[in-house]
A = this chain, B = another copy of it.
Amino acid sequence: MCSAITLRHELFPSDREAIGRIIRSSNLFYEYEVGVALELVDERLAKGPASGYHFIFAEEPGRVLGYTCYGPIACTKWSFDLFWIAVLQELRGKGIGRMLLAETEKAVRTMEGKRIYIETSSRHDYRLTQDFYRTCGYAIESVLKEFYGPADDKMIFVKELPFP
């Protein structure tokens, strides 16, 4: 099914609504987290690349299926954050996330990035997400106990990208 899917690096104002729909479809995020995701969209739309937020979309004609939001970490030589990766719930497990993440890594290498960090929750709800990162070559470098709240640690995954 991936043959009809294209990747796009440009953010359009209409993506705002699609991103809200994709994130909410997972039933994984609190509503205030959706707000945070949309703030990054607004920042990018207002300030362009100077915002430090970059986007990649997977889409088929007329429908956005998933996206990533990533960017360089200020005051570092080569570190990047993957702020968001999300795919429409009904399309999970079909390789779209993997395609998006691979394209993101390619883009980060182009920007001379060497390390990509992903922060996620230790909650059981995130178990599949954690497995996905591991499968894609990310390893847990750190766990911050009860960072998010009671029994809710922050796990920091990292992948060192091979220099070409």
Cβ-based interface call for A102 (8 A)? no
State the copy count for this chain: 2
Does residue A79 face the partner (Cβ distance < 8 Å to B)?
yes
One digit per residue, 1 when the CB lies within 8 angstroms of any chain B CB and 0 when it does not, for chain A 73-88 equals: 1111111000000000
Task: Tell me whether A156 and B141 are in contact (CB under 8 A).
Answer: no
Q: Are B32 and A150 in contact (CB under 8 A)?
A: no
Q: Is the CB of B36 within 8 A of A149?
A: no
A57–B158 alpha-carbon span in the complex (Å)? 36
- Convert A123-151 into 0s and 1s, putting 1 for each residue whose CB lies closer than 8 angstroms to a CB of B: 00000000000000000011111111110
Q: Could you say which of B115, B142, B144, B149 contacts A77, with CB atoms under 8 Å apart?
A: B149
Which residues of chain B have C-beta atoms less than 8 A from A117's C-beta? 144, 147
Contact B75 A33 (CB under 8 A): yes
B-chain residues with CB within 8 Å of residue A79 when the two chains form the complex: 147-148
Q: Are A115 and B146 in contact (CB under 8 A)?
A: yes
Partner of A145, one of B74, B75, B141: B141
**CB pair A115 B147 closer than 8 Å:** yes
Q: Which residue of B lies closest to A149 (CB)?
A: B77
Partner of A148, one of B77, B143, B149: B77
> How far is B143's CA from A148's CA once the two chains are assembled, in angstroms?
19
Contact for A144 among B30, B141, B146, B149, CB less than 8 A: B141
A106 vs chain B, min Cβ distance (A): 21
Q: How long is the Cα–Cα vector from A145 to B156 in the complex, in angstroms?
A: 12
Q: Which residues of A contact B (CB under 8 A)?
A: 30, 32-33, 36, 73-79, 115, 117, 141-150, 152, 156, 158
